[in-house]
């Protein structure tokens, strides 16, 4: 944790408008309800200081679970998983973190954590590059009538960002 005196000096040097703007941005970092300038906690001030001064990388948000098969019936499961890891790291680089979710019964799976601002781009990329069947989140969205507009938004974004992938459709 940064020294409290440094953080307080920085905070006290901000105008009321600057403080309000920073607090408004706090929701983006999943800090709960927006607080007032007078109610900000020591912890929140410290976290905000680190974000503003880029001393701490932005937090990743859980996005998806991709399933590649269990290897018993689909011999290419591990190969598909490796191919996905390579492709997503090439596309999203430092905006993505993967967590191996392999299970001896469920098989090869990857949890995807991504910067929140990349969320729509991630789903568009998944659709355009043929990973939609592996994406459990998109499988659920595509089968939920209430989420039809959201699903269509991702499809349209995919067609817009990756038009060459949709030439035959």
- Name which residue leads in pLDDT, 69 or 31: 69
- Name which residue leads in pLDDT, 64 or 95: 64
Q: How long a stretch of residues is the chain?
A: 169
Residue 40 is predicted with a pLDDT of 74
Phi/psi of residue 64, nearest 5 degrees:
-165, 165
Say how far apart CA 73 and CA 65 lie, in whole Å.
20
Under the banding of pLDDT at 50, 70 and 90, the label for residue 55 is low
Q: Residue 168, CB half-sphere, CA atoms under 13 Å: how many? A: 2
Residue 122 is predicted with a pLDDT of 96
Structure tokens at 41: 């906690």
Under the banding of pLDDT at 50, 70 and 90, the label for residue 168 is confident
pLDDT of 31 above 70: no
Domain assignments of the chain as residue spans, ordered by start: 4-52, 61-166
Under the banding of pLDDT at 50, 70 and 90, the label for residue 132 is very high
Other C-beta atoms lying within 10 Å of the C-beta of residue 4: 11
């Amino acid at each position: 944790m940064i020294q409290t005196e440094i953080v307080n000096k920085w905070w006290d040097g901000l105008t009321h408008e600057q403080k309000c703007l920073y607090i408004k941005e706090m929701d983006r970092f999943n800090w709960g309800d927006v607080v007032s300038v007078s109610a900000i906690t020591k912890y929140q001030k410290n976290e905000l200081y680190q974000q503003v001064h880029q001393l701490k990388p932005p937090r990743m948000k859980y996005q998806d679970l991709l399933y590649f098969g269990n290897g018993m019936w689909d011999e290419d499961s591990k190969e598909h998983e490796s191919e996905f890891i390579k492709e997503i790291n090439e596309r999203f680089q430092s905006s993505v973190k993967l967590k191996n979710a392999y299970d001896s019964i469920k098989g090869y799976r990857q949890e995807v954590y991504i910067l929140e601002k990349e969320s729509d781009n991630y789903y568009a990329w998944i659709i355009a590059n043929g990973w939609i069947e592996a994406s459990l989140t998109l499988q659920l969205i595509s089968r939920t009538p209430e989420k039809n507009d959201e699903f269509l938004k991702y499809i349209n974004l995919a067609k817009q960002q990756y038009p060459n992938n949709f030439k035959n459709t």
